[in-house]
Amino acid sequence: MSLTSYEPWQLVSRLQREFDRSYAWLPTVDVTEDDARYLVRADLPGVEQKDIEITADQGVLTLRGVRHYEKRGESNFLRRFTLPENAQVGQIKARHVNGVLEVSIPKQPKIEPKRITVEAA
């Protein structure tokens, strides 16, 4: 009977290496807000427009893409943001100019409470 060594953390270590290699780059993102919209700006130098995917599903905005390197191959990125309740998901617009991705998320108009006048009987 031969004994073999068992490395309980070997699988976890391998998964961590794969994860680090696959998602090694996280672009910086700024989120701002004004009266009419939320604005998400992501610095994506070296990322082409065709390599960017943006989705809004079940209250989550997802920015996903691939950055190609000359020597190292490619690096995937993924950023997720919870959308506020007043976000108009159907009106989201995105543009990519000079390595900066801007995602504009309009807000639903504020509904002011209606004041009801009390009349005398």
The pair of structure tokens assigned to 82 is: 């919870």
Provide the domain count of the chain.
1
- Give the residue numbers spanning the domain of 44: 26-106
Contact between 43 and 37 (Cβ < 8 Å): no
**Does residue 119 belong to any structural domain of this protein?**
no
**Does residue 62 belong to any structural domain of this protein?**
yes
**Does residue 90 belong to any structural domain of this protein?**
yes
Residue 34 has pLDDT above 70, yes or no: yes
**Does residue 49 belong to any structural domain of this protein?**
yes
Give me the mean pLDDT over the 98-114 stretch.
93
The pair of structure tokens assigned to 40 is: 């998400």
DSSP bridge partners of 30: 41
Cα(95)–Cα(85) distance, integer angstroms: 23
Residue 36 has pLDDT above 90, yes or no: yes
**Does residue 32 belong to any structural domain of this protein?**
yes
pLDDT band for position 12 (50/70/90)? Answer: confident
CATH of the domain at 53: 2.60.40.790
DSSP bridge partners of 104: 39, 93
pTM above 0.85, yes or no: no
